Structure 1
Amino acid sequence: MSKIIFRKDVPQTKALVKAARISAKRAFSGSKALGLTITYIKDGVVYEEEANGTVVIKKQIEKAVNVPFEFKKGLVLHAK
């Protein structure tokens, strides 16, 4: 069995990014419909958004650090 090598495939990458954005939007709206709190990071700030639309600033991130995450029901990951 040969080793799989990653190749640049721009159309496939664009399709994956598009699918990820659509999935994130659906998960976001689904979590809001279930009344779950949504936590996300934007511009180095951690926000927590309630189902009613109230946004609370939780924390300012100074530096990116690799931290193990605990995944819970309703968690939405956003990537660029």
Structure 2
Amino acid sequence: MKKVVFRKDTAQTKSLQAAGTVASATAVRHAKALDLDITYIENGNVIVEEPNGHTTVVKKLEKVTAPIVLTKGMVLHAK
């Protein structure tokens, strides 16, 4: 799966992604050491993993579409 680059400054993007990966791995390790539940999203489902390893699907997430279509150069009038 190709990663989406959301900035033109790829060096900064890569460093932010690396920092996020390290931070999330550290948070999971600390949560497991303290016997806390870990909540994460996988394949459109919110999943809770208990300290004993049992996983439970809490909610299925649905895609939300925008009610209007905005195009580049549109003028928005605020009321």
Which TM-score band applies after superposition, normalised by the shorter structure?
A: 0.5 to 0.7
What is the TM-score with the length of structure 1 in the denominator? 0.65
Greater RCO, CA 8 A, separation 6+: 1
> Mind listing any 5+ residue stretches in structure 1 that lack a counterpart?
1-6, 66-80
Q: Is structure 2 residue 32 aligned with structure 1 residue 32?
A: yes
What is the TM-score with the length of structure 2 in the denominator? 0.66
After superposing on structure 2, the runs of 4+ consecutive aligned residues of structure 1 that deviate more than 6 Å are none
> Mind listing any 5+ residue stretches in structure 2 that lack a counterpart?
1-6, 66-79
Pick the structure with greater CA Rg. 2
Partner of 1:13: 13
Distance 1:64 1:51 in 2: 32
Superposed CA RMSD: 1.8
